[in-house]
Amino acid sequence: MNKALKNPFTYIAFIVPTLALYAVFFVYPVIVSFYYGFFKWDGITDKVFTGLDNFARLWNDEVFRKALANNFYFMAFSLVVNIPLVFLLSIIISKVGRMRDFYKSAVFVPVVISTATVAILFGVLYNYDSGMINQFIRLVAPDDWAREWLSDPKLAMLSILIANAWQNIGFFIVLCLAAILNIPKEIVEAAKIDGVNGWQETWTITLPLVRPILFVMLLLTVSGTMKVLDIVQIMTNGGPFQSTEVMSTYMLKVGFRSMELGYGSAIGVAMFILILVLTGMLQLMTRREEVQY
Amino acid sequence: MKRSFTLIAALMVSILLVVSACGSNNVEQPNNSGSEGTEKPAETTTPVEEAKEVTLSLRHTQIKETSKTRLKILEDVVAKTEQENEGLTFKLEGIDEIVNRDQKLKAEMAAGNPPDIFEVFGGADLKLYVKAERMLDLTLILDELGIKDKFASLSEFTIDGKVYGLPFGGYSEAIFYNKKIFSELGLEIPTTWEQLLDISGKMKAAGYTPFGLAAKDAWVNGMLWNSIMERHTGMDAMNKVVTGEAKWTDENFIKGFTAYSELALKDYFTKGALGLAYADQGAQLLSGKAAMVFTGSWDANRFTSDEAGDLKGQIGYFAFPSIAGGAGDQTSINASYSNGFGFSANLSEDQIAAVKKFIANFFNEDIQKRTLIEDKLLPSMKLSDLSGVDPLISEVLTVMANASSSWPAFDSITQPAVTAEIGVGIQELIGKVSTPEKVAAKIQAAQEAANSAQ
C-alpha cells in the first residue's frame, strides 16, 4: 500500500480524470473562442476569416459598452452596499448570544434557493399591478408612488441588484461570521480591560483581523459580478430595451439569437481577459495579507 | 506491488468508465446505426425477418401545463407506432420552446448532431439548416404516402421545390377580446383603425387595460406591430427590405412605427408590460383586467380552458381592423403553417423507414381532427369533417376564412440580427424612450449590415 503512494503513477491516475474534464470543458472552449473570434460565422455555414474586425466592432459597440457599464454597476453596488452590510450583520450576529445558530441559518437560507427561483420570486414581488412591493406602497403612500420596478430602465438594474443582494449576502455573512468568531477571546477581553468601547473594538480589532476574509469576499464579488448571467437573464432578459444587458447576456444574444457566433466569441474573449486582469490584480494585492493574532 | 497494481488498474477502469459515459451521449446514435449496418449482410442470408432495434430521438416543446393535450396526442401516436413496429423505440425529450428554437437546436445544428425528429419552424430557421444540409428531404416520402396534397400549405417548409418539414398545425394572429366588457361598455367590433383607437379610449376611461401586453420577450410585441406594419406597407415590403429594395426608414414604415407608438403613448398597453413574461398576457385577459389581447390562435386553447372561469365562452376573436390609406391588403391576416416537425439528415435507412411510419401515423385526418377538438390547434391538413369544434375555434376559423390573403410573420423573413434589433426597437417604443424615426434608423442600420453579410 505504501508503495502505491510512492508510485508517481498513482498520483497521475488520480489527477488525470479531473484534468481531462477541465481540459475538455474549460481549456478547449477558451482556446477555440479565441480562434472563432477572428471569424464571421453563423455557426452552421462556412466560417469567413475577418481578422480583427470583431474586436474592432466590439470596441465601438454601444450595447457592449452599456453591458460593461452594467457589470461595473453590479460590481460597485456589491462592493459598496453588500459588503458593508455583510460586515454589519456579521458583527450584530456575533454579538447575540442567544439563538445565534438560528440567525446564522436564517441568513443562509436564500443561498440555498436556486437563482432561477429567486429571480422568478422577485419578478412576482416586483409586478406592477399585483406585486407585493407595489401593494405595500399603495397601502402606505399615494398610489402613484408605485413603480414599474422591472420595466422602468432607470429602476430595472437596481431591482435586480436588490434581488441579487438578498440571495448572496447570506453566504458572505457566514464566511465573515466564522472569521469574527475565530478571533481569540483574549484579545477582545484585554482590550475591554483597557476600556475600549464597541465602536473602537469593531474598528481597531475586528475589522483588521477579518481583513483576509474581506479580501476573499472582494475577489468572489469581482469575479462573480463580471460573469453574472442567470439572475439577469431570468428577471429581465437584458430588457427593457437592453438597459439591463450585462456582458454575458449580450454574448448569449449575439451568439445564439442573432447567430453571430464569431462576434459572440469575441465578446466571450473580452470577458475572459477582463476578469483575468481584474482578479489577477486583486490576487497580487491579497498576497501580502497574513493575519497574526 | 501487486496491491498497488490492482489499485491503479481499478482506478484506470473507473476513469475509462467516466470517459466512456461522457462520450456516449454524443456518439450513441451513429454507433447504433453503425452496428446495425454491420448486421445487415447477415440478415440477407437469413430469410426470416427479425425485428430490428431502431431508436429515434424525438424533441418536442410541449412541456407547459397548457400544452398537456398536445403532448398526450403525440405520446399516443408514438405509442401506436412503437406497437405496430416491433423493435422501434422513440426517446421523447421535452424542452422549453424558446430554448429549443434559439439555443439548443441551433447549437446542435451547428455541431451537426440534431435529434432524429424535432420541432422546427419553417421560414428563416429552416432555410439556414437546409443550407447546412442538416435536414432530411421528405419529398419522396410524401409522394410515397400520398399525403402531399392533403396539407393546407407546405410553403414554409418548401425550399427549391423540396419539402424539409411538416407542419402539425397552423395559426393566425388577431385580437382576442372579452365579450363581457364589450357589451358592458356597448362597444362594437372595430373594423377601422380609428374605431380601434376610439374603443380603446373608452375602455381605458372605464378602468380596463385596452391591450393586455407582456413585453419582456420581444417576439410577443412583434405580433401586433407586424399586423400594423402590414396594413401600412403591404406584405411584400418585408421581403423588399431584405433584398435592399426598400428601407425601414421609408415613409410607410415610419407610419407603421408611428401608429404602434401611438398605442404606447396613449397608454393603451398594460402598465409595466416590459417586465412581464408572456404567460402574463393571457392571464390579464382571463382575469378581466384587459379587454383585448393581440396574440396567435395557439392561445385559444388556454382561453377556452378552465382558467377562463367566468369568461369561458365569453372570449371572442376578430381580425385586425383596416387602416385607411395604408399600402397593405387591409383585410389580410397573419396566418401560417410554420410550426412543424423536421427530421435529421443523419438518419440511417432503418430510421428513415421508421420515420415514414411515424409520419403516416401522425399526419392523418384522425389525429388532425383530434388536435383541433382537444387542443384547439388549427389543423395543417384539410379536414372533411368539422363537427364538434369549440365556438371560439369556429370564430378563429371564420376569421381566417374571411381574410382576403395571408402572410407569414416578419421574423420568418428578416435575418435573426435584424429581428433582434426590431425587438429592441419595439420595446423602446413601448417604454416611450425613443421616436419612430430613430427606431427605424437603427433597424435600417442593422438591416444593411445583415444584407451585406449575405
The CATH number of the domain holding residue B285 is 3.40.190.10
Q: Is residue A105 part of a domain?
A: yes
* B134 → chain A, closest CA residue: A44
Return the DSSP state at B450: H
Could you identify the residue written with the cell 439563538? A99
Instruction: Tell which wins on pLDDT, B303 or B1.
Output: B303
What average pLDDT does range A94-102 have in this prediction? 83
Assess if residue A16 is contained within a domain.
no
pTM of structure? 0.73
> For residue A166, how far is the Cα from the chain centroid?
12
**Residues B243-294: tens digit of each pLDDT:** 888 889 988 899 999 999 999 999 899 888 888 888 888 888 988 889 999 9
Distance of CA B229 to the CA centre of its chain: 20
Top pLDDT among A17 and A256 is at A17
**Average model confidence (pLDDT) for chain B?**
83
Torsion sign (Cα): B322, B393, B171, B159:
negative
Least confident of A95-104, A118-127, B278-287: A95-104
User: Residues with Cβ < 8 Å from B34, sequence gap 6 or more?
Assistant: none
- What per-residue confidence (pLDDT) applies to B22? 45
What's the pLDDT tens digit per position in B115-160? 999 999 888 788 888 988 899 999 988 888 888 888 878 888 988 8
Rounded to 5 degrees, φ, ψ at B47 are -70, -25
Q: Can you give the residue range of the structural domain that contains B256? A: 172-335+397-453
Q: What CATH number does residue A156 fall under? A: 1.10.3720.10
Number of domains in chain A: 1
Is the CB of A240 less than 8 angstroms away from the CB of B417?
no
Assess whether the previous peptide bond of A110 is cis (omega < 30° from 0).
Answer: no
Q: What number is the ipTM of this complex?
A: 0.72
Domain count across chain B: 1
For residue B67, being part of any structural domain is answered with no
Cross-chain Cβ contact B417/A40 below 8 Å: no
> For chain A, which residues lie within 8 Å of any Cβ of chain B, measuring from their own Cβ?
1, 3-4, 7, 9-10, 13-14, 16-17, 20-21, 24, 40, 42-45, 123, 126-129, 148-153, 156, 236-237, 239-242, 252-253, 256-261
C-alpha cell at B168: 402539425
Domain that includes residue A218, residue range? 62-286
| Chain B nearest C-alpha distance from A253 (Å) | 8
pLDDT surpassing 80 at residue A111:
yes
Say which residue, A46 or A269, is predicted with more confidence.
A269
B194 in a structural domain: yes
Determine, for residues B275 and A258 on separate chains, whether the beta-carbon distance falls below 8 Å. Answer: no
Q: Span A100-112, mean pLDDT?
A: 86
What residues have CB less than 8 Å from B6, skipping those under 6 apart? none
Interchain pair B110, A126: CB under 8 A: no
A23 within domain boundaries? no
CA torsion through residues B120, B125, B127, B129, sign: negative
Q: Is residue B366 in a domain?
A: no
